Amino acid sequence: MEILLQLVFSGIALGMIYAVIAFGYQLTFATSGTLNFGQGESLMLGALVGLSLVSTFHGGPYMSYLLMIPIVLVFGALQGMFVEWIGVRPAIKIKSEFGWIMSTIALAIIFKNVAENIWGKDDLTFPSPLSSTPFQVLGANVQPMQVAVIVGALAIMLAVELFNRKSIYGKAVVATANDRDAAGLMGINTSMVITFSYALSSATAAFAGVLVAPLTLTGATMGASLGLKAFAVAIIGGLTSGMGAVVGGLILGIAEVTTGFYVSTGYKEVPGLLLLLLVLAIKPAGLFGKATIKKV
């Protein structure tokens, strides 16, 4: 039972990382109907930039980690704006249904190659800001950084939700998400809102990168797998539901960890993919998503 609880805690921490990235997918899909398929690379760049900053700051790992986070968030936002300007906006202007898919994938490959040339192809160790000594919860050993990942992931998603609900700019995002054409007629600059949603999406992914980096190795290849699995989470939970991102992330994270331990690490991705196929067959809009009706 203690081992199972320990696996569940590890799965929750991993699942919350998936949830944050999936939450970023939802932000861009809501405002523009598009997705950044380089979302995993935003996480990777955030982790590598954070690693470089931590190594230059002085004052201990904890203080360096705190000082690094705002800079990584700004970097992630600028990177997201660049993706929207270069890869997505031209496709939206010509009303291309698939142009943004290839553009964001191409940019993801470019970002990965740039990262390999700057930081190298070898995986690097990210210093943990917290003690590596685990503490016990119901007999299971839990690392402090795992708790930090869960709290940090919930905090960033809650902050974005509060921003959208309480601020005037957030309400512009919600209005654009509900009806882009009507929002434009009401005087909202929907192009700027879409750019902002991409900035916010990449900033949350970069933040997820510095959250997960101390628990794993950091390198140019770390983002591809995480981004793809987070996309599966977004589909399972529903691309229109923040709660769906959290639930889908927890399901996939716990399923992966427990399958890898009790069955084989070679099969740890299978339960999540089977669930994805099952959800697409039964409820294509996702567990918490809402089906949209288009008039033709």
Q: What is the 3-state secondary structure (H, E, C) of the chain?
A: CHHHHHHHHHHHHHHHHHHHHHHHHHHHHHHHCCCCCCHHHHHHHHHHHHHHHHHHCCCCHHHHHHHHHHHHHHHHHHHHHHHHHHHHHHHHHCCCCCHHHHHHHHHHHHHHHHHHHHHCCCCEECCCCCCCCCEEECCEEECHHHHHHHHHHHHHHHHHHHHHHHCHHHHHHHHHHHCHHHHHHCCCCHHHHHHHHHHHHHHHHHHHHHHHHHHCEECCCHHHHHHHHHHHHHHHHCCCCHHHHHHHHHHHHHHHHHHHHHCCHHHCCHHHHHHHHHHHHHCCCCCCCCCCCCCC
Would the pLDDT of 59 be above 80?
no
Instruction: Render pLDDT for 262-291 as a digit per residue (tens, 0 to 9).
Output: 888 888 888 888 888 888 888 888 888 766
pLDDT value, residue 291? 62
pLDDT band at 296 (very low <50, low <70, confident <90, very high): very low
Mean residue pLDDT of the chain comes to 87
The residue-averaged pLDDT of 76-103 equals 89
97 or 10, which is more confident = 10
**Rounded distance, CA 206 to CA 80, Å?**
10
pLDDT band at 57 (very low <50, low <70, confident <90, very high): confident
pLDDT bucket at 6, cuts 50 / 70 / 90: confident
Q: Looking at residue 262, what is its pLDDT? A: 86
pLDDT at 118: 92
Considering Cα of 71, then 62, then 42, then 243, what sign does the dihedral take?
negative
Q: Does residue 44 register a pLDDT over 70?
A: yes
Higher pLDDT, 295 or 143: 143
Split at pLDDT 50, 70, 90, the class of 76 is very high
Question: Could you tell me if 279 and 235 are in contact, meaning their C-beta atoms sit under 8 angstroms apart?
Answer: yes
Asked if pLDDT for residue 183 goes beyond 90, the answer is: no
- Do the beta carbons of residue 187 and residue 235 sit within 8 Å? no
Give the span between the Cα atoms of 79 and 179, in whole angstroms: 26
Q: Domain-by-domain residue ranges, the chain?
A: 1-282
Using CA atoms, how far apart are residues 68 and 53, in angstroms rounded to an integer?
6
Q: Residue 143: what pLDDT?
A: 84
Q: Which long-range contacts (CB under 8 A, 24 or more apart) does 266-273 make?
A: 269/229, 272/229, 272/232, 272/236, 273/232
What is the C-alpha separation between 98 and 103, in angstroms, rounded?
9
Tokens of 151: 């709290």
Q: What is the pLDDT of residues 218-251, one digit of tens each?
A: 999 998 888 889 998 999 988 877 888 898 899 9
69 pLDDT tier (thresholds 50, 70, 90): very high
pLDDT for the residue 117: 94
Look at the alpha carbons of 235, 241, 247, 249 in this order and tell me if their dihedral is positive or negative: positive
CA-CA distance, 15 to 122, in Å (whole number)? 25
Write out pLDDT tens, residues 159-182: 888 888 888 888 888 888 888 888
* CATH number of 1-282, picked from 2.60.40, 1.10.150, 3.40.50, 1.10.3470: 1.10.3470
Q: How many CA atoms lie within 13 A of 67 on its CB side?
A: 14
Burial tier of 274 (Cβ tally within 10 Å: 0-12, 13-18, 19+): exposed
> What is the structure's pLDDT at 292?
58
| Distance, CA of 102 to CA of 159 (rounded, Å) | 31
Residue 109 pLDDT greater than 50, yes or no? yes
